[in-house]
Amino acid sequence: MGTDIVISGANNPRNNFGLSYFTSSNKLDVKEPIFNFNVNPTITSLGEEQSWMSAFGHPEVFIPPANANTKLTSAIYDVTNLTFKSEQKPIIRLPQNVVAQKNPINVIDANAVPIQIWEGCVQSVNIEEGTMKASLNAKIGVIPEHIGTIDLQWVPDQDVDLVKPGAVFYLTLFKRVKRGGTIENSQAIQFRRRPNWSKNQLDKINERADKFLSKIKSKPIAD
């Protein structure tokens, strides 16, 4: 028997959730919790108004809003539906034999072995389909450049505003050895941020720009 945990999608002001914390699929099978959060068996249920993840110190992470007709205890939950707001407080049944863990699973630690790091560059973003097309260059081994389509749901919340053509990100695929020796696959996407130009850099840019312009000449124009 699992532990009943009450969650409240309606309490989430953004109806948003941290997809970067999911491990392998955008279909969340609530029977097989693939969250990075394992549940402390001492917790049996949460208060009505308390969101599930916030109970574990991750107020920024929320369970997706529920479809009123969905029985979450047995259904595959479609987390691609970002718009639906549920008033229902669904119940997720989780196994008892798991241990609480606060760190998100995509944090690379001593137990995580990177198997490939792809440096990606966003080529185009399809808002309607919720995908981005990206070029992918392997950082490990000699692999030619590839192109692929990545669902935007894999992009961490904090990086969503960076998803634009030309943006550079790193897609790290790694294996994690779990307690007990089980190996699981995981991945993380992180977009590259950069500091703003410093005054010194701006001065040098202006110098280079002046030099650039001074070298451009014109040829005659045809009749």
Partner 1 sequence: MNYGQPPADNEIELTVFGPGHGEAIVVHLGEGNWLLVDSCIDPNNNIPASANYLDQLGVTPNKVKAIVASHWHDDHVRGIAYLANKYSEADFFLSAALNNDEAAAFVAAYSGIDAPGLARGTSELHSVVDQRMHVYDALHKTIVHELSANQLNVRVIAWSPTSSAFAQSIANFAQYLPNKPGQVPITHAPEPKQNIEAVVIHINFGEEDAILLGSDLENRKIGWGELVSNVWCQAQKKASIYKVAHHGSQNGDNEEIWTTFLQKEKIACITPFNRSGLPTPSDKERIKLRATQAYISSGASRKADMSRDQIKRLGDICSDVELADSGFGAVRLRKKIGSQIWNTELFGNAQAI
Q: State the Cα–Cα distance between residues 222 and 46, nearest whole angstrom.
A: 79
Positions in 156-175 near partner 1 (CB under 8 A): 162, 164-168, 171, 173
Question: Contact between 213 and partner 1 (CB under 8 A)?
Answer: yes
* Residue number with CB closer to partner 1 (164 or 179): 164
* Residue number with CB closer to partner 1 (25 or 44): 25
CA of 216: how far to CAs of 87, 194, 204, in Å? 64, 31, 19
Q: State the Cα–Cα distance between residues 178 and 61, nearest whole angstrom.
A: 22
CB of 169 to partner 1, least distance (A): 10
Question: Contact between 115 and partner 1 (CB under 8 A)?
Answer: yes
Question: Contact between 204 and partner 1 (CB under 8 A)?
Answer: yes
CB of 17 to partner 1, least distance (A): 17
Q: State the Cα–Cα distance between residues 128 and 105, nearest whole angstrom.
A: 29
Question: Contact between 210 and partner 1 (CB under 8 A)?
Answer: yes
CA of 82: how far to CAs of 65, 91, 94, 153, 171, in Å? 8, 19, 23, 10, 23
Q: State the Cα–Cα distance between residues 188 and 135, nearest whole angstrom.
A: 17
Which of 76, 101, 138, 170 lies at the binding interface for partner 1 (CB under 8 A)? 138
Write out the two tokens for 119. Answer: 């440096």
Which residue is listed with tokens 């047995």?
A: 74
Neighbouring C-beta atoms of residue 139, cutoff 10 Å: 13
Stretch 40-79: interaction string toward partner 1, x if CB under 8 A: ----------------------------------------
Binding-site ranges for partner 1 (CB under 8 A): 24-25, 115-116, 118, 121-124, 133, 135-136, 138, 143-151, 154, 162, 164-168, 171, 173, 185, 187, 191-199, 201-202, 204-213, 215-222
